[in-house]
Amino acid sequence: MFMRLSGPRTAISQGDVEVFSEFEEGGEMWTGAGGRERRIHVTFDNAYSAPPAVFVSPSLMDMHNEGAYRAELVAEDITCAGFDVVFRTWSDSRVARVRAAWMAMGEMAYEDDWNID
């Protein structure tokens, strides 16, 4: 979803992405062995004129109930065109699946802007 606010340059983009789902095939996040980071790239529908502020939050976390709940969910490599949603866990935490809600807010180019190079 994309929304331009009443100020012609300020805009908000938002969405929800599945970062991974590994419990059905016995992936590394679910078995607790191997790579413990997953990264998914999000591309904005409309590019910002400068890298926006990006917020991510879990919209679904399916964790095993016998271990400690260890998790980090962040936005990294933020550009005008998109960013990476990154989920990390460690130690004996077992994670079946993660989905992340995100929102970006920043400045968009405006039709009356002068671009003089």
Alpha carbon distance 49, 108 (integer Å): 5
| pLDDT grade for 66, boundaries at 50, 70 and 90 | confident
pTM for the whole structure: 0.85
Q: Please check whether residue 98 is in contact with residue 60, taking contact to mean a CB–CB distance below 8 angstroms.
A: yes
Q: Please check whether residue 72 is in contact with residue 87, taking contact to mean a CB–CB distance below 8 angstroms.
A: yes
The region that residue 12 occupies, defined by phi over 0 for left and psi between -120 and 50 for alpha, beta otherwise, is beta
Query: Reduced to 3 states, what is the DSSP secondary structure of residue 29?
Result: helix
Q: Give the pair of three-digit tokens for residue 24.
A: 């059905």
Vertex 55 angle, CA 51 and 57, to 5°: 155
pLDDT reading at 43 higher than 90: yes
Give the H/E segment covering residue 96. strand 95-107
Higher pLDDT, 10 or 85: 85
Instruction: Give me the pLDDT at residue 76, please.
Output: 98
